[in-house]
Amino acid sequence: ARPGAGGAGASPSLRDGTFERVLDLTGEVRAARGESLGVPQTPAWQLPIRWLIEDGASVAAGERVAEFDNGRFAGDLLMKRTDAEQAEVALRKARADASSRLERAAFDLDAARGRLAEARLRAEVPADLLSARDYDDRQLALRKAEAEAGKAEAALERAAAEARESVGEAEL
pTM: 0.55
pLDDT at 1 over 50: no
* 130-169 pLDDT tens trace: 999 999 999 999 999 999 999 999 999 999 999 999 888 8
pLDDT of residue 74: 83
More confident residue, 108 or 9: 108
**CA 64/CA 68 separation, integer angstroms:** 11
Q: In sequence order, what DSSP letters do the residues of 88-127 get, joined into one string?
A: HHHHHHHHHHHHHHHHHHHHHHHHHHHHHHHHHHHHTS-G
